[in-house]
Amino acid sequence: MPPLAIEDAIKAAEREINKLTEDYPQHLLAVLDEMEVAAAAAQWDRILVMAHDIKGQAATLGWPVIGEMAKSLQASLESPAQYLFAESVRLHLASLRFCLHKRLCAESRDAARLLGDLRILTGTMRAGRPAR
């Protein structure tokens, strides 16, 4: 079999990326379901790994708001405020589902408001202060 011409290889890669991008919302819903199961079992390390993965995938596949929310979730689970992990995960997952449902790929007023609230929570957790 002859090697692919560079143009053919690029087109094949673009098709694959387009397929991944198209399938990402369904994939993300399944991951969010897994995260909820992990939260019910207090498997914070497992959720931390999944949040890290979402952070990179979402940014690459055109969902920067989802990536920022995953980054916030990851930061909250790296904080010393373990007593807030369950609530933080619940709020982050609800926000992620909302953005996915509303197809909020890019920054919007709703997304900015959610991200702002999540960042306040995460900042409070990282500082080790009680939540307001």
Cα distance between residue 113 and residue 11, in whole Å: 38
Cα distance between residue 20 and residue 93, in whole Å: 22
| pLDDT for res 1 | 60
Q: Which residues of 4-39 are buried (b: 16+ CB within 10 A; e: fewer)?
A: eeeeeeeeeeeeeeeeeeeebeeebeebbeebeebb
Q: How far is CA 10 from CA 15, 44, 48, 109, in A?
A: 9, 39, 34, 36
| pLDDT for res 118 | 94
| pLDDT for res 26 | 94
Nearest Cα to Cα of residue 87 among 28, 44, 27:
44
Nearest Cα to Cα of residue 125 among 74, 91, 82, 89:
82
Identify the residue whose tokens are 């790929």: 105
Cα distance between residue 29 and residue 87, in whole Å: 19
Per-residue pLDDT of the chain (132 residues; tens, 9 = 90+): 667 688 888 888 888 888 888 889 999 999 999 999 999 999 999 999 999 999 999 988 889 999 999 999 999 999 999 999 999 999 999 999 999 998 877 778 888 899 999 999 999 999 876 545
pTM: 0.84
